[in-house]
Amino acid sequence: MTVRLSFFLSEAFDSLRRNWVMTMASVLTVVVTMAILGVVLVTDKNLKEGTTSLTNRVEIEVFIKGAPPQQSSIDALGAKIRGMSQVKSFTFVSQAQALADLKKMLGAGAQQIVSNLESNPLPASYKIFVKNPNEVDQVAQLFFHDPNVDNDPGTTDGVSYAKQTVRNLLGTVDLVQKAMWVVTVLFALAAILLTSTTVRLSIFARRREVEIMQLVGATSWFIRWPFILEGFITGLVGSLVAALGVWGANVLAYNWIHQSKLDFLRPIKYPLFAQSGPWPLGLIPTLVLAGAVLGALGSALALRRYLRV
């Protein structure tokens, strides 16, 4: 078995060396394809983290009827919010606190104007944060017709939240993720076809040798294995180069974002070898496995079409 494997590897490397131009083209195609896949994986994970971070900052503010509001309205709304399974956290903002926050936001120049107000016109409110950003609409609607909420007749202006912002953000992220996966699939098909072409040229260059091997009784798989290994090695080398490149770029981007004080995006480094979750493999084993499979598939396609053994 060891002798056979050594023979198959020797034949595969000889073939790769003889057709080095097409081999380099195949390797570069795999590098580009796996680099794109790596970027998609890293970007997808960071998009999910960043989206979660940004959407977790989206609050629903429910203004309480009355100035000042009755304690019964405050308690009723508090009990209602506390009983919602969708709510992650909430805080009560009194009229005095709302005015203090306004002064702080306006700065020293406008504080004199606020101080001259005869009474506090700002309503008390509850600020609510939901567990799932997709449920912001659903939670907000529960207060549209609540008698304790300060809605003007025929409106829902007593409930304030960035409705369209959340929808646009989630829609854009979803579109970007789908587009990235489509591009990855297209490049994967290109890698398979180019690897198939490389193996086909190898078959053509060695057609006499293959015919002789068939005449002396070599089995189909004995003839096929060097070609399969050829595609496998091509995919392995290309994907390893791509994995290291993407990981290095991920580290550089991570450090740059932290230095630029954009930590609110919550960038992450994609694990190099292993990770938690449903997919346990890190960047290198994932890309190497995918690249090797692509190379082997390209070889299998060529063998099926051009090597009738």
Residue 129 pairs in a beta bridge with 89
- Strand (E) or helix (H) holding 130: strand 125-130
Contact 288, 236 (CB under 8 A): yes
Helices 283-306, 20-55: inter-axial angle, 10-degree rounding? 140
Give the residues of the chain that fall short of pLDDT 50.
Answer: 309
Same-domain pairing of 141 and 236 = no
Same-domain pairing of 70 and 197 = no
Q: Quick one: pLDDT at residue 102?
A: 77
Same-domain pairing of 230 and 104 = no
Contact 124, 69 (CB under 8 A): yes
Same-domain pairing of 194 and 216 = yes
Alpha carbon distance, N-terminus to C-terminus of the chain: 22
Total Cβ atoms within 10 A of residue 199: 30
Same-domain pairing of 238 and 289 = yes
Q: What is the CATH number of the domain that holds 135?
A: 3.30.70.3040
Q: Quick one: pLDDT at residue 73?
A: 92
Range of the domain at 218: 2-54+167-306
Compute the distance between CA of residue 70 and CA of residue 215 in angstroms, rounded to an integer: 98
Compute the distance between CA of residue 245 and CA of residue 38 in angstroms, rounded to an integer: 9
| Nearest residue to 30 (alpha-carbon basis) of 299, 296, 302, 291 | 291
Compute the distance between CA of residue 290 and CA of residue 302 in angstroms, rounded to an integer: 19
- pLDDT digits 0-9 by tens, 81-124: 999 999 999 999 998 888 888 777 776 655 666 666 667 778 89
- pLDDT digits 0-9 by tens, 164-201: 666 677 777 778 878 888 888 888 888 778 777 777 77
- Strand (E) or helix (H) holding 79: helix 71-82
Q: Which of 161, 176, 207 is the last residue of a domain?
A: 161
Q: Which of 104, 136, 161 is the last residue of a domain?
A: 161
Residues shown for the chain: 309
Same-domain pairing of 177 and 155 = no
Residue 152 carries which DSSP code?
A: P
Compute the distance between CA of residue 158 and CA of residue 140 in angstroms, rounded to an integer: 10
Residue 127 pairs in a beta bridge with 61, 91
Query: How far is CA 218 from its chain centroid?
Result: 48
Same-domain pairing of 10 and 76 = no
Q: Give me the number of domains the chain comprises.
A: 2
Same-domain pairing of 72 and 155 = yes
Q: Quick one: pLDDT at residue 240?
A: 92
The CA angle 210-212-218, to the nearest 5 degrees, is 75
Which residues have a Cβ under 8 Å from the Cβ of 293 and sit 6 or more positions away? Answer: 235
Same-domain pairing of 138 and 242 = no
Same-domain pairing of 290 and 173 = yes
Query: How far is CA 259 from its chain centroid?
Result: 22
Q: Which of 161, 185, 217 is the last residue of a domain?
A: 161
Edge-first strand listing for the sheet containing 159-160: 87-93, 125-130, 60-63, 159-160
Same-domain pairing of 31 and 49 = yes
Same-domain pairing of 120 and 268 = no
